[in-house]
Amino acid sequence: MENNPHMIYEPSDELEAEYIRDGKGDIHPLCDRRARDRIEEIENDILRLSDKTEVENSFEIRDSILRHTYENTDLTEKFASEIEEHGGDPWAWIKSRISRGNYKGIMTGDYINIEMTDNERGGKKPYKIQIMGIDTYTGTYNADRTGTLGHHIDFMSEVCYGNDVTWKDVRNNNGTVETQCPYLASNVYSHLNSEVYDALPQNVKNVITDKGMLMEFRYSEDGEPLKDPLGYKWRSLGKVWAPLEFEIFGALVRSPLQHGAGLALQYPLFAHTYKNLLKYKYKPDGSLTRVDWWTASICGNSTGEAVVAGYGARFGMVTEYKSMPLCFRVAQ
């Protein structure tokens, strides 16, 4: 008899443990007792899902995501009891979940709050760290190309941290002789991986890992700035990073059409809605104000501009001061 993957078998107490009876009453041998255990698990799942309220709630969550009206959830409240089993550390808990590939009940846009100290803006402030994407780049290289990236979640803050920075101190968006990748030669990269990284809570530092990406390189040995890239190379963006234009908008709006995206995908957090592109910064009085923010992309047909988000994908002179949300990855 052909195997039917959709057939649910019913174990029979009248039969030996090596056999089961299907819904038609036919008897089938089991070559492995684990198969019977798996069948019992499936039956238990069906019984659990027969709870009408749970099914209705699942459909409502699905529909709210499709309508883009899903209210993002504070994971520390939703999974408080699980987190207690990890010593009350939500980042140790999420690391454990990711390592097992267990994302049940976790949605894009859900968040974990952290506190970071910013003495120029009133001391400790809460920062909502949202899920940008779950396993978005699984199967690509890890940051140093020594293996394949497994389960992971990429996070992004809703509020930008610290002082605004320029992309570069001079109007030149190219790389340097030391690093031909413009982003890695920028103040944005160095600021995120020094001042911003240093301000993260230790339990966050304990679990984050570098992100790798195909990044454009643009540099000429004769010293003349190039308007477009020469190609791209695999590079680590560090432990705290800015997203590429394509990862935000799902398109190359200002970036060069060749080499501007690398292997980037649009993060689900930004798909079909503008609300998560809006970023804010604390003012000295503790209130929030909406801001422009740097991406990791530079503009095509340009020697002095990088891509700015916040009010759409726009040109930004590299010598202008802009804000920066912080992004990081937790991987298995």
For the stretch 5-30, pLDDT in tens is: 444 444 444 444 455 555 555 555 54
Mean pLDDT within 175-202: 96
Token output for 258: 């060749």
Residue listed under structure tokens 């400790």: 124
Q: Which of the residue ranges 82-86, 137-141, 219-223, 326-330 would you say has the lowest mean pLDDT?
A: 219-223
Angle (CA) 242 282 247, round 5°: 20
**Of the ranges 22-31, 59-68, 100-109, the best mean pLDDT one:** 100-109
Q: If pLDDT is split at 50, 70 and 90, which confidence band does 132 have?
A: very high
Q: Which two tokens stand for residue 249?
A: 């908008």
Angle, in degrees to the nearest 10, between helices 33-49 and 52-67:
80
4, pLDDT greater than 50: no
Provide the β-strand partners of residue 131.
155
- pLDDT (average), residues 93-101: 98
pLDDT in tens, 176-189: 999 999 999 999 99
Percent residues over pLDDT 70 in the chain: 79
Domain boundaries, the chain: 19-50, 108-331
Dist CA 329 CA 210 (whole Å) = 7
**What is the Cα gyration radius of the chain?**
24
**With 50 as the cut, is the pLDDT of residue 62 above it?**
yes
CA angle 289, 169, 173 (to 5 degrees): 95
pLDDT digits (tens, 9 = 90+) for 241-278: 999 999 999 999 999 988 889 899 999 999 988 889 99
Confidence grade of residue 54 (pLDDT, cut at 50, 70, 90): low
DSSP secondary-structure letter at 174?
Answer: S
Instruction: Give the residue from 121, 181, 129 showing the smallest Cα distance to 326.
Output: 129
8 Å CB contact between 75 and 129: no
* Phi-psi label, residue 70: left if phi above 0, alpha if psi -120 to 50, beta otherwise: beta
* Residue 156: predicted pLDDT: 98
Among 287, 294, 281, 291, residue whose Cα is nearest residue 324: 294
Least confident of 67-71, 200-204, 294-298: 67-71
Residue 111's CB is within 10 A of a number of other CB atoms, namely 19
pLDDT of residue 23: 53
The pLDDT score that the predictor gives to residue 121 is: 77
Q: Quick: pLDDT tens for 33-45.
A: 565 666 667 666 6
Report, as an integer, the average pLDDT of 141-166.
95
Scan for tokens 């930008």, then name that residue.
160
Question: Residues 268-321: pLDDT tens digits?
Answer: 999 988 889 999 999 988 899 999 999 999 999 999 999 999 988 999 999 999
